[in-house]
A and B are shown apart, each in its own frame.
Chain A
Amino acid sequence: MMRRSLLVAILSNLVLMGCRNADKQDTSEALTQEKASVPVVYVSNYPLYYFASRIGGENIDLHFPSAGLADPSGWNPPADSVAAMQQADLILLNGATYEGWLMNVSLPDSLLVDTSLAYALQLLPSGEVFTHSHGEEGEHSHEGVASHTWMDLSLAAAQVRAIRGALIRIQPAMTDTFEVNYQELAAELQELHNAFKTTASSGTSNHLAFSHPVYQYFQQAYGLKGSSLHWEPDTPLDHDMLHEIGHLKNDHDIQFMVWEGAPLPESVQQLKDQGIKSIVVSPMGGMPESGDFLEGMQWNLEALRQAVGVQP
């Protein structure tokens, strides 16, 4: 009798274990299927990464292969990364010549979405002219196109619309979720855009010096006058640079130098000695060390308030 009870107990346990294993297998299969059904999306810069993550959330498998670079426009994609991108469901591009590497890679056109296509006619010149000649063709010039479009938050909103459309196209079942997320993000961008406009219009119209020509859309959107230099924040200022800024100071009464990133303390001091304060307005192209896109732009807004003399 005792032996029979033991046998029944062992058999029952085996059956229960089998059921549990089957449940576990079912669950893992379901998870695998769910993961497989999540579309893979690649982006080329941080603003697109942020926008896509806000709209797509957990419903997309988002990749930002050049996340390690401060300026992803200078990315030189290795073949392995491109091969992985070829398997994606969607590749979101900033457009406006931002992805200089695009001409060096082979990606299916059907996957590429240029998020700045909607405002292609509003693109601004970069201010850089490339003159060259080859053989008997004679000398000719090309003017570059400014590519940091999202610094005008109204254009960023247009990019967000393009991202929403692209995500709905590849995952129509999630249209409602994407739409809700889009509306929320668009409202936040609009609010910030209005804050930038109000700040810029209510302050003094100082002529600014920009450390790099990446603020074309920022300047145009918010009516900021300024001159662009080619200075790196982590490069010490030399005699020529100080001479250059001295000329600008004399010509335009420069009060503020707008840096892309935190400048060296000695550079800040050297400029301060000339009566020029340093502020940082990050172009937000690369993955920030802390915060997110909207927080970064909020810090940019604070810097702008300082530059135009508006109290928060």
Chain B
Amino acid sequence: MKHVLFLAWQYLKYHRVKTVFLLFAISLTFFIPMALNQLSQKGSEKLRARAVSTPLLLGNKGSATELCLGSLYFREPNIEPIPYSSLEDLRQQGLARAIPLQLEYRVKQQPIVGTTQDYFSFRKLSFEQGRPMAILGECVLGAKAAQALNAEVGSSVISTPAGAFDVAGSFPLKMKVVGILNPNQTPDDTAVFTDVKTTWVISGKAHGHQDIGVGTADSLLLSKSESGVVASPAVLSYTEITPENIGSFHFHGNPENYPITSVIVLPGDKKSELMLRGRYQQDQGLQMVVPEAIVDELVDTVVSVRDLLLLAAISIGLATLLITAMVFLLSIQLRKAEIATMKQIGAAPGAVRGILITEILLVIGIGFLLALMLVWTIDRLGIPLLENYL
């Protein structure tokens, strides 16, 4: 047996170019379906884990999928915001804790998540440096966001205006970084967290400017009377909140009408959850969804796509194996003289068959091992790449 293995191995070594091509083809035949399965399974698990840990979401009527993708993975929300009073109403029912999310703005490519302190404890996020935001204009960065923005505690990041044609739509606000989170391999790593009230400053609902009533240069006033003054657009709003000017920041209108994208709802128990879902089922403007159910639907779609791809990959694999078998058969035909020589020098017919079978098994075995190594590599490196797209 040892001699059979030796001769088979020597043959493969001698015909190394042919062997490498065969190994490559066979390993790919195994690798593609296995990798597809692994990636879709891991991706589904990641998607589900985030959804399962979020009991309920409250948002505007519309696409439940958009609501979930926006609120769980901070994708740009394509749903209308809801008024902050929706959150207050929910709280007053006394059945659940509520955490607001305002996801309208960005710092470059990183999403700004306007929320409250409760978000950190809910997601079990820990601080690598610094502390949570304490006053208006402070922010906390996820680990990847800190890297992407090249920011550290004490530096500042500036919110990106909503668009070139919406110069009045949102204020570029310079926010002070007061904390950086430990990485936790979720979308939280990419986010810029700030208080929901700071996002209202970005939106212009709240702003600060110099006192235009006292000692203001006439050039900054359009008119002045006993009942009031009209400021000219030359009176600039502050674009950074500092201890010196924070007192001048004020909110216009009723904060209950200010926008939030959605609310993470944490019911006290199962009964409360069912009661809340029942109550919001009849609501005309709001929907309360179970993220797990929505993401399961998404995962089902992903799985059915994966099944189709797997079918295609297996078909291609079978074709490849047939071609490989043909290569081996042709090879045996070409090696007729060699086989005859082996027999003439006294090799038993069984030994010759053994050498040929061992060559095939070695190629298939090594190809399979290579495929496993590739799957392991993709599991280690490919999943983080995949996460960036989720």
Q: What is A's interface to B at a CB cutoff of 8 Å?
A: 76-80, 82-83, 86, 103-110, 131-134
Partner-contacting stretch, out of B40-48, B131-139, B159-167, B347-355:
B131-139
**Could you tell me the distance between the alpha carbons of A150 and B223 in the complex, rounded to whole angstroms?**
41
Q: Are A79 and B255 in contact (CB under 8 A)?
A: no
Contact among A79, A108, A109 for B138, CB-based, below 8 A = A79
Q: A78-B243, A79-B138 are in contact. Are A106 and B117 (CB under 8 A)?
A: yes
Known: A106-B133, A110-B97. A131 touches B117 (CB 8 A): no
One of B118, B134, B136 near A110 (C-beta < 8 A): B118
- Determine whether B125 belongs to the interface, using a CB cutoff of 8 Å to chain A: no
User: B206 within 8 Å of A by Cβ?
Assistant: yes
The answer on a CB contact under 8 Å between A106 and B138 is: yes
**B116, A106: Cβ atoms closer than 8 Å:** yes
Q: What CA separation (Å) do A28 and B265 show in the bound complex? A: 42
Across the two chains, which residue of chain B brings its CB closest to A105?
B135
Looking at chain B's contact residues, the main secondary structure is mixed
From B245-253, B280-288, B324-332, B359-367, give the one contacting chain A. Answer: B245-253
Q: A86-B132, A104-B197, A106-B136 are in contact. List 6 more A-B contacts (CB 8 A).
A: A80-B134, A103-B136, A103-B206, A105-B134, A106-B133, A109-B116
- Residues on B with C-beta less than 8 A from A78 are 135, 243
* Least distance between A151 CB and chain B CB atoms (Å): 26
The one of A106, A109, A131 in contact with B135, judged by C-beta atoms closer than 8 angstroms, is: A106
Give the distance in Å from the alpha carbon of A78 to the alpha carbon of B244 in the complex.
11
Contact among A80, A82, A104, A131 for B249, CB-based, below 8 A? A104
Partner of A134, one of B121, B132, B252, B255: B252
Tell me which residues across on chain A come within 8 A of B178, comparing CB atoms. Answer: 79
| CB-CB contacts below 8 Å: B96-149 with A | 97-98, 116-118, 121, 131-136, 138
Is A103 in contact with B246, judged by CB distance below 8 angstroms?
A: no
Chain B positions within 8 Å of A106 at CB level: 116-117, 132-136, 138, 195, 197
In the assembled complex, the Cα of A311 lies from the Cα of B116 at a distance in Å of 54
CA distance A104 to B230 in the complex (A): 26
B227 in contact with A131 (CB, 8 Å): yes
Residues of B within 8 A of A110 (CB): 97, 118
Residues of B within 8 A of A82 (CB): 134-135
Q: How far is the CA of A10 from the CA of B97 in the complex (A)?
A: 63
Which residue on A lies nearest to B119, using beta carbons?
A108
From known contacts A76-B247, A103-B255, A134-B252, infer whether A83 and B227 are also in contact, taking CB-CB under 8 Å: no
Does A104 contact B255, Cβ atoms closer than 8 Å?
no
A308 to B189, CA, bound (A): 66
Task: Tell me which of A86, A105, A108 contacts B136 (CB under 8 A).
Answer: A105
B227, B230, B252: residue with the most chain A Cβ atoms closer than 10 Å: B252
Chain A residues contacting B94 (CB-CB under 8 Å) are none
Instruction: Please name all residues of chain A whose beta carbon is closer than 8 Å to the beta carbon of B154 when the two chains form the complex.
Output: none
Shortest distance between the CB of A165 and any CB in chain B (Å): 13
Chain B residues near A131: list those with CB within 8 A: 227-228
Among A76, A86, A104, A134, the one with the most B-chain Cβ atoms within 10 Å of its Cβ is A104
Q: How far is the CA of A104 from the CA of B116 in the complex (A)?
A: 13
B228 CB, nearest partner CB in chain A, Å: 7
Measured CA separation A110–B197 after assembly (Å): 16
**B231 — nearest CB in chain A belongs to which residue?**
A134
User: Could you show 29 A-B contacts with beta carbons less than 8 Å apart?
Assistant: A77-B135, A78-B135, A79-B134, A79-B138, A82-B135, A83-B134, A86-B117, A86-B132, A103-B136, A103-B206, A103-B251, A104-B136, A104-B197, A105-B134, A105-B195, A106-B132, A106-B133, A106-B134, A106-B135, A106-B136, A106-B195, A108-B116, A108-B118, A109-B116, A110-B97, A131-B227, A131-B228, A132-B228, A132-B252
Contact A109 B136 (CB under 8 A): no
Interface residues of B in 219-272 (CB under 8 A from A): 227-228, 230, 243, 246-247, 249, 251-252, 255
- With contact pairs A86-B117, A103-B255, A109-B118 given, residues A79 and B228 touching in the complex (Cβ less than 8 Å): no
Give the chain B neighbours of A103 by CB distance below 8 A.
136, 197, 206, 251, 255
The docked-state distance in angstroms from the alpha carbon of A76 to that of B249 is: 12
Query: Is A104 a contact partner of B246 (Cβ separation < 8 A)?
Result: yes
**CB closest residue in chain A, given B178:** A79
Sort A-B residue pairs by CB-CB distance and give the 6 closest, nearest first: A82-B134, A108-B117, A106-B195, A79-B134, A83-B134, A104-B136
